[in-house]
Structure 1
Amino acid sequence: MDLRQLEYFVAVAETGSFTRAAERVHITQSGVSAQIKALEHELGAELFVRSGRTARLTEAGAVALRHARAALGSTLDLRDAIDDVKGLVRGRLTIGMVTGCEITPLFDALAAFHREHPGVELDLAEANSDQLVTAVRTGALDVALAGLAGEPPEHPAARVIASERLVALTAPGSRLARDRGHPAKPDGVTIAGLTSYPIVCLPRGTGIRDVLDRAGTAEIGLRPEVALVATSPDTVAGLARRGLGVAILSESMAEANPDLVAVPIEGVALAALLALVWQDRRNPALAAFLRHCEKAFG
């Protein structure tokens, strides 16, 4: 017997008709009948009671149906397993990251994945976080590391890597640094208080900028005016270092610039999130890459 015979047998059993089974498997009725007769001959038992245009399973046929379905299911599992292997041998993975990304664990995951699956082609793209999430939703990217404001989206799926507060960074001796040391001033600064200083921040569409804009809308009814915009956190910090404004960045970014004065921003409920987002984990290359990300990010 062969798998084709089992497929035709299941089709007749499920449709109750040789005619409808032939339509399902896209061959002639005579072809289906011939294959079923050959299967019956090999098994030494009739599988159907034929009555006019209908076909009803015999007792032997009912027993055979369970095993035929199991055999065809195992064949599909085998094909899926081979497809997975093929996908990891010569597949393709498109990965997005925030512009100016310097997230070491992501690069570690990429390197480990490439060592394990050198045949998979890797395509990397940089963009603002809102563009990355849209690209994942549309299928243009398989996965992306993006900055988000507040709760991660349900669709696409997301795994939060970091959740941090916003911090205002300023040069020592700047007006904000001097005001912060005044006895009448609190240690932190509110969004309303920040509007007294020129602000340097990342562009709209990034997680940090979205948190700043939404916090401003909640506190003062409008988005804070940003004097200078730069796409890299290092550039944002560098502009503040040179006295061109107060940089708005995350806590970890503040720690990377210890020469600047870090001023907590008070009253901001939203967190700046860094998250992996993806749409369809059935891609075997994506599933393998996400496993490496889980190890790299801990």
Structure 2
Amino acid sequence: MQLHQLEYLVAVADEGGFTRAAERLRVAQPGVSAQIRKLERELGHALLDRSGHRVRTTPVGVEVVSAARAALEAVAGVRRVVDDLDGLLRGTARAGMVSSGPFLDVPGVVADFSTAHPHVVCSLVEEGSGALLEGLRSGRLDVALVGAAGTLPEDLEVRTVSEQPLVLAVPADHPLAGLSSAGPSDLAGRDLVLPAEGNALREAVDLACAGLSPAPHVTCSASDPAVLARLASRGLGVAVLPGSVSALRSEGLATVPFEAEGVRSRLVLAWPRGDVGPAAVALREALLAAVPA
């Protein structure tokens, strides 16, 4: 049994498949599969159930993965002791982000951190808030900039980066354009253009509009707020957006403050509770230092 076999097993268990595990580990996928099969033969048990769309751990595999995590953490602890004695920062630091606009330059911070600490393997992914939160909880990510349009996640540490009012964006001749403010009931039966599924704002608006009759209809979705503003300006639906989106003005849209209980437009920096490696802590501190005052 070798440490890299345990690392491969944990990665497949976290990612739910061999391809994503190989991408995370930066190794060839056939090598991951071969090493895990070798480990299974050595232990005399199947550790992974490969029969479904997503690879899952068998009952024996659950216990072995738990022991593998402990073993890998113990080895990492030994390495940290040596690194501390050498005065060097080593290890991995894995960050995630949604599109942040001007609020926090996550790519810039990660690039500067990587340059300052050449012995740290840094990675950065851009995904929807739902996938990023799952990555933090599973251990795939160490820190992430996520959207939090509803309640803040209680199982993670968070720091607010920005908070903005929401607006309905409509053409100037739209029936809603003359309102001083609007709420979920004003969206009943209307066509909407909203962020893509998995976006925190989309989930919050869906929740706020649940139970409306007639129900609103989402005609288009996109991850870029500027695209949503453009779609709204062409009459494809009412856009629900943060008020700071610059494209609202460039597209000539009228904006109406949107008020719904528990719905906000927030960006937060989030990270798991508990112990993490020193490289992950250092990257998190670099990101926190870059949050505008």
In the alignment, the residues of structure 2 paired with residue 246 and residue 87 of structure 1 have an alpha-carbon distance, to the nearest angstrom, of 56
- Alignment map for 1:91-240 (pairs within 5 Å): 91-98=91-98, 100-103=99-102, 104-177=104-177, 180=178, 186-217=179-210, 220=212, 224-240=216-232
Report whether the alignment pairs 1:283 with 2:280: no
Task: Compute the displacement of 1:106 (Å).
Answer: 2.0
In the alignment, the residues of structure 2 paired with residue 88 and residue 237 of structure 1 have an alpha-carbon distance, to the nearest angstrom, of 47
Q: Which letter maps to 2:236?
A: L
Q: Is the 8 A contact 2:193 2:232 kept in 1?
A: yes
Name the residue aligned to 2:53.
none
Pick closer, same or farther for the CA change 1:148–1:84 going to 2, 3 Å: farther
TM-score (norm 1): 0.62
Task: Compute the displacement of 1:230 (Å).
Answer: 1.1
In the alignment, the residues of structure 1 paired with residue 119 and residue 171 of structure 2 have an alpha-carbon distance, to the nearest angstrom, of 48
In the alignment, the residues of structure 2 paired with residue 149 and residue 233 of structure 1 have an alpha-carbon distance, to the nearest angstrom, of 15
SS state of the match for residue 108, structure 2? helix
**Superposition RMSD on alpha carbons, in Å?**
2.9
Structure 2 residue aligned with 1:266, among 252, 255, 259? Answer: 259
SS state of the match for residue 176, structure 2? helix
Q: Is the 8 A contact 1:189 1:264 kept in 2?
A: yes
In the alignment, the residues of structure 1 paired with residue 137 and residue 289 of structure 2 have an alpha-carbon distance, to the nearest angstrom, of 25
In the alignment, the residues of structure 2 paired with residue 154 and residue 285 of structure 1 have an alpha-carbon distance, to the nearest angstrom, of 24
Report whether the alignment pairs 1:249 with 2:241: yes
In the alignment, the residues of structure 2 paired with residue 163 and residue 112 of structure 1 have an alpha-carbon distance, to the nearest angstrom, of 26
SS state of the match for residue 106, structure 2? helix
Task: Compute the displacement of 1:137 (Å).
Answer: 0.4
Q: Is the 8 A contact 2:189 2:214 kept in 1?
A: no
Q: Which letter maps to 1:226?
A: V
Which protein has the larger Cα radius of gyration, Structure 1 or Structure 2?
1
- Per residue, is there more helix in 1 or in 2? 1
SS state of the match for residue 270, structure 2? strand
Describe the superposition over 1:255-277 as per-residue Cα deviations: whole angstroms up to 9, x where unpaired: 45323222111343332321112
Q: Is the 8 A contact 2:188 2:213 kept in 1?
A: no
Q: Which letter maps to 2:278?
A: P
SS state of the match for residue 197, structure 2? coil
SS state of the match for residue 82, structure 2? helix
Q: Is the 8 A contact 2:194 2:218 kept in 1?
A: yes
SS state of the match for residue 257, structure 2? strand
SS state of the match for residue 283, structure 2? helix
Q: Is the 8 A contact 2:188 2:215 kept in 1?
A: no
Name the residue aligned to 1:295.
289
Task: Compute the displacement of 1:101 (Å).
Answer: 4.6
Task: Compute the displacement of 1:141 (Å).
Answer: 1.3
Q: Which letter maps to 1:296?
A: A
SS state of the match for residue 297, structure 1? coil
Pick closer, same or farther for the CA change 1:271–1:223 going to 2, 3 Å: farther
Gaps of 5+ in 2: 1-76
Describe the superposition over 1:169-224 as per-residue Cα deviations: whole angstroms up to 9, x where unpaired: 123334433xx1xxxxx41122121234321001222111122112223x738974
Q: Is the 8 A contact 1:212 1:224 kept in 2?
A: no
Q: Is the 8 A contact 1:213 1:223 kept in 2?
A: no
SS state of the match for residue 148, structure 2? strand
In the alignment, the residues of structure 2 paired with residue 262 and residue 175 of structure 1 have an alpha-carbon distance, to the nearest angstrom, of 12
Pick closer, same or farther for the CA change 1:140–1:174 going to 2, 3 Å: same
Pick closer, same or farther for the CA change 1:220–1:174 going to 2, 3 Å: closer
Q: Is the 8 A contact 1:166 1:208 kept in 2?
A: no
Q: Is the 8 A contact 1:128 1:206 kept in 2?
A: yes
Name the residue aligned to 2:9.
none
Gaps of 5+ in 1: 1-76, 181-185
